[in-house]
Amino acid sequence: MVPTQTESQPAAAASLEEADRRDLDWWIDKLVEGLVFIGGISAIVFITAIFVFITKEGVGFLGSRFDFSEFFFSQAWRPTSESKPTYGALALIAGTASVTGFAVLMAVPFSLGAAIYIAEFAPPKQREILKVLVELLAAIPSVVWGFIGLSMMNPLIIELFDVPIGLTVLNAGVILGLMAAPIMTTIAEDALKAVPDSYREGAEALGATRWQTIFRVTLPAARNGLVAAVLLGVGRGFGETMAVLMASGHSINVPDSVFDSVRALTATIAAELGETAVGSEHYQALFTLGILLFVVTFFINLTADLVVRGIRKS
Amino acid sequence: MFEATARDHRNQRVQTSIRLGFLSMTLLLAAPVLIVLGALVYKGMPIISLDFLLGDPTHGMTQGGIFPALVGTVCIVVVALIASVPAGVAAAVYLSEYAPENWLTRAINLGILNLAGVPSIVHALFGVGAFVLFFGFGTSILAASLTLAVMTLPVVIVATKESLQAVPMAFREACWNMGATRWQTIRTVVLPNAVSGILTGVILEVSRTAGETAPIMFTGAAFFLPFLPQSVYDQTMAMSLHLFVISTQVPDVPEALPYGVALVLIGIVLVMNSISIAFRIWLRNRKKW
């Protein structure tokens, strides 16, 4: 942060002359300070507003219809049933967890490997190019990823593994892994970059090879940043909507293998919200799923932030 | 005395193979971008023509062009920018030039991190609850754009803050010493020196906004609406949702059509991104201080 302007001198001068120096420029300055302050707190206002508004829409369900054991332990998500609608989110939670878990398992080694290469090995020109490629990977919109899952990965998986359907945990997991990889790579690389060069020089002066330096010195020193990178990657995968909706098969199912179709929490909201009447039980139930998503991502981000803060302190 | 021993040679080989191992991991991560782009260009290019870009979708969206979706996406992006750039720049100015090191600043930073991390579908729910229903904008370009503006606010804030902080402290001090107020300093010295960095962030935001689908699905984008929007209170088609619709909801779509739409969409996004990246590299090389 920028250190504050010294205020003692002007103040002393003012008392000396006993003059009111609050001219137009002074008032404009105060006005602008107020305006940018409003801009500054807008992030807090919006994040609070998001919570308030989704809770406002979902609270009816939480108050009257919500049943803890049904919601978390039943697989029966039948919100449109005529006789008795049920809202068991277990299969949706399992769907999200399996796809995200698979994606993170796929993406973590590659992302960390790429981060290590870019931060520790690559010569400057190469680093620039690789970073641009990673950035472009992050730029591909999620609906395009979903389309790729649908039109390219689907036939490929059917062909390769000889399975009847290719819209599965595997498909969505690979896609999601590719989507989560850039954020993990970028943040992990930043964490490695933040390790002071004197650490590396010290290790190499003691005769350690490059790899020994990375494995024994740099990686442990960057540990917190790497954990934060993985956490933010998990958050990214967890909240992804369109790609999962299109690539996971969207069938309510607790998966036994990566070749099962599943349905994610996010995808359920995206697929069903358009068909519900505002204020209906189903509509409120979807907002309740939204509250769940919000709370979980909030804690993932909070944890990542605390972990990063941990390195700054030490 | 300094001749390499067999052990040194072995060490050298091990080092090289480790290096190559990491390089191949990096390339495996980067390769999909090129594969995806290649496939989209190969399969989508044949359908792209002036008629495709400037025509209306016909025959239940199985033929014709994408003009209404293209115009819709441009409208949504423009309105979103109008809403988010002033707020984002103000927030960045506050954080970079005014904010003291205290709990409120930490809370703001955490808010920004969370705003960027909340799932896009939750932003959509917020848009429905706040802009469509509570503020009564209905499903409209305005509601969709505001939803996207909130969602992409962190992009502008982070990029702007970085470029403001890159302006050397001495510039500000020199200006203060001339008797300028804080705002005069920001307006005449800090912002002009940071404007290109801010622009980089804005371009990046355009590319994010143009590609998003979930947040606009229920707030303003229509499945099929072959008219151009007349005001911000109208619904509109959008490229991203159009790709979703024709690849999942509409039967008998010829294979090339969604590839064409995906190619145009990714073209917009990547061109914007590349401009932003090139701009940033150019800026860094040109830096005078």
Nearest-by-CA chain A residue for B31: A133
Show the domain range for A28: 21-78
Checking if the pLDDT of A13 tops 70, the result is: no
A287 within a domain of the structure (yes/no): yes
- The 10s digit of each residue's pLDDT in A123-134 is 988 888 888 888
Q: Is the ipTM of this complex over 0.85?
A: yes
Buried b (16+ CB within 10 A) or exposed e, A200-216: beebeeeebebbebbee
Number of folded domains in chain A?
A: 2
Please list every residue in chain B whose beta carbon sits closer than 8 Å to the beta carbon of residue A121: 19, 22-23
Checking if the pLDDT of A10 tops 60, the result is: no
- The 10s digit of each residue's pLDDT in B185-203 is 999 999 988 888 888 888 8
Higher pLDDT, A169 or B289: A169
Q: Do A143 and B244 touch (CB under 8 A)?
A: yes
- Co-location of A137 and A222 in the same domain: yes
Checking if the pLDDT of B284 tops 80, the result is: no
Mention every residue, 6+ apart, whose C-beta is less than 8 A from residue B274.
A136
Q: Do B108 and A47 touch (CB under 8 A)?
A: no
Using alpha carbons only, how large is chain A's radius of gyration in Å?
Answer: 26
A14 within a domain of the structure (yes/no): no
Angstrom distance (rounded) from CA A31 to CA B42: 56
- Co-location of A46 and A154 in the same domain: no
Angstrom distance (rounded) from CA A187 to CA A264: 26
Checking if the pLDDT of A105 tops 70, the result is: yes
A11 within a domain of the structure (yes/no): no
A128 within a domain of the structure (yes/no): yes
Of A17-26, B217-226, B268-277, where does mean pLDDT reach its minimum? A17-26
End-to-end Cα separation, chain B, in angstroms? 47
- Co-location of A63 and A120 in the same domain: no
Q: Do A33 and B262 touch (CB under 8 A)?
A: no
Last residue of a domain, one of A58, A78, A98: A78
Put residue A260 in one of left, alpha, beta given phi > 0 → left and psi -120 to 50 → alpha.
beta
A112 within a domain of the structure (yes/no): yes
Give CA angle at A172 (A166, A173), nearest 5°: 115
Nearest-by-CA chain A residue for B220: A274
- Co-location of A49 and A97 in the same domain: no
* SS3 call for B139: coil
Burial class (CB in 10 A: 0-12, 13-18, 19+), A155: exposed
Last residue of a domain, one of A11, A43, A78: A78
- The 10s digit of each residue's pLDDT in B76-122 is 999 999 999 999 999 999 999 998 888 999 999 999 999 998 999 99
- Co-location of A184 and A205 in the same domain: yes
Checking if the pLDDT of A37 tops 70, the result is: yes
H-helix or E-strand spanning residue A44: helix A24-60
| A13–chain B Cβ distance below 8 A for any pair | no
CATH number for position A303: 1.10.3720.10
| A18–chain B Cβ distance below 8 A for any pair | no
Separate counts of helices (H) and strands (E) for chain B: 12, 2
| B216–chain A Cβ distance below 8 A for any pair | no
Angstrom distance (rounded) from CA A183 to CA A195: 19
d(CA B71, nearest CA chain A) in Å: 18
Using alpha carbons only, how large is chain B's radius of gyration in Å?
Answer: 24
d(CA B176, nearest CA chain A) in Å: 8
- Co-location of A231 and A170 in the same domain: yes
Angstrom distance (rounded) from CA B107 to CA A108: 29
Q: Do B98 and A37 touch (CB under 8 A)?
A: yes
Q: Are B55 and B69 in contact (CB under 8 A)?
A: no
A8 within a domain of the structure (yes/no): no
Angstrom distance (rounded) from CA B20 to CA A27: 62
Query: Which tokens belong to B239?
Result: 């490229």
pLDDT computed for residue B271 by the predictor: 87
Q: How confident is the model at residue A1 (pLDDT cuts 50, 70, 90)?
A: very low
Q: Are A233 and A111 in contact (CB under 8 A)?
A: yes
pLDDT computed for residue B65 by the predictor: 80
- Co-location of A95 and A65 in the same domain: no
Using the structure block, give the residue that is written with the tokens 């390790």: A195
- Co-location of A111 and A191 in the same domain: yes
Q: Do A293 and B119 touch (CB under 8 A)?
A: yes
Given CA atoms A123, A124, A130, A135 in this order, what sign does their dihedral have?
positive
- The 10s digit of each residue's pLDDT in A127-157 is 888 888 888 888 899 999 999 999 999 999 9
Last residue of a domain, one of A57, A78, A99: A78
Q: Which of 90-119 (B) contact A at CB < 8 A?
A: 90-101, 104-105, 107-108, 110-115, 117-119
Please list every residue in chain B whose beta carbon sits closer than 8 Å to the beta carbon of residue A278: 133
- Co-location of A283 and A162 in the same domain: yes
Q: Are A261 and A248 in contact (CB under 8 A)?
A: yes
Checking if the pLDDT of A250 tops 90, the result is: no
Q: Do A301 and B117 touch (CB under 8 A)?
A: yes
A30 within a domain of the structure (yes/no): yes
- Co-location of A260 and A160 in the same domain: yes
Phi, psi of A257 (to 5 degrees): -145, 175
Query: Which tokens belong to A290?
Result: 């939204």
| B86–chain A Cβ distance below 8 A for any pair | yes
- Co-location of A147 and A62 in the same domain: no
Per the DSSP assignment, residues forming a β-bridge with A262 are A249
Q: Do A111 and B124 touch (CB under 8 A)?
A: no
Nearest-by-CA chain B residue for A237: B119
Q: Which of 41-80 (B) contact A at CB < 8 A?
A: none
Nearest-by-CA chain A residue for B119: A239
A254 within a domain of the structure (yes/no): yes
- Co-location of A262 and A211 in the same domain: yes
Angstrom distance (rounded) from CA A70 to CA B129: 26
Checking if the pLDDT of A172 tops 90, the result is: yes
* SS3 call for A260: coil
